[in-house]
């Protein structure tokens, strides 16, 4: 399961992408719109700013806005930012790699190979899922799951 933090982040990003023509958007507006605790959201948006996805403007008429192009913000990046590795085991990640003590030979470990397959597919799908494709799906009412 992804954390609420990541989920809130995605909702905020989708909103910011959808309304990116309208200038900076207030934290309080995003908060109300998405049922997200305001203070909690502040921290999330800050993280996204530090990650170079958003920027902010203070004072009257301020707020947050997207600086990356919607097609350049993918879900793999966002989930990694808030929840760390996407893989189900530390031994199949790059950045968060950790060896399993019980593993005699990592190269032939059957469990590891299965988890690796899952990870590869997950990353592939999440990298294809950008704010642009998400918006497109919502606009066109396409339902991929049917």
Partner DNA sequence: ATAAAGTCTATCTGATTAATAGGGTAGTGG
Partner DNA sequence: CCACTACCCTATTAATCAGATAGACTTTAT
Contacts with DNA by CB under 7 A lie at 3-5, 24-28, 37, 39-40, 42-43, 45-46, 49, 56-64, 83
Scanning 19-27, 30-38, 53-61, 65-73 for contacts with a second copy by CB under 8 A, the matching segment is 30-38
Residue numbers 98-137 binding a second copy by CB under 8 A? 100-102, 107-118, 121-122, 125-126, 129, 133-135, 137
- Strand boundaries in 13-101, DSSP class E: 54-57, 63-66
The total of other beta-carbon atoms located within 10 Å of residue 10's CB is 21
What backbone torsions phi and psi does residue 50 show, to the nearest 5 degrees? -60, -30
Total residues in contact with a second copy, by rule CB under 8 A: 46
Q: Give me the least distance between CB of 33 and DNA, in Å please.
A: 13
Tokens of 93: 């990640």
* Cβ-contact 27, 45 below 8 angstroms: yes
> Of DNA, a second copy, none, which one does residue 102 interact with (CB within 5 to 8 Å by kind)?
a second copy
Binding-site partner at residue 87 among a second copy, DNA, none, CB < 5 to 8 Å by type: a second copy
- Work out whether 37 is an interface residue with a second copy (CB under 8 A): no
**Token pair recorded at residue 70:** 């919607």
Query: Cβ contacts of residue 54 below 8 Å, gap of 6+?
Result: 13, 16, 45, 48, 64, 65, 66, 67
């Amino acid at each position: 399961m992804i954390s609420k933090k990541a989920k809130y982040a995605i909702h905020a990003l989708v909103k910011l992408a959808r309304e990116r023509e309208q200038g900076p958007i207030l934290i309080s507006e995003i908060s109300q719109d998405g049922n997200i605790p305001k203070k909690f959201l502040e921290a999330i948006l800050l993280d996204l700013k530090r990650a170079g996805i958003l920027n902010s403007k203070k004072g009257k008429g301020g707020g947050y806005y997207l600086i990356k192009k919607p097609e350049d913000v993918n879900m793999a990046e966002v989930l990694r930012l808030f929840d760390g590795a996407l893989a189900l085991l530390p031994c199949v990640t790059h950045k968060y790699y950790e060896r399993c003590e019980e593993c005699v030979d990592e190269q032939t470990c059957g469990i590891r190979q299965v988890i690796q397959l899952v990870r590869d597919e997950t990353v592939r799908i999440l990298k294809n899922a950008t704010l642009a494709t998400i918006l497109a799906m919502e606009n066109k009412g396409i339902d991929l799951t049917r």
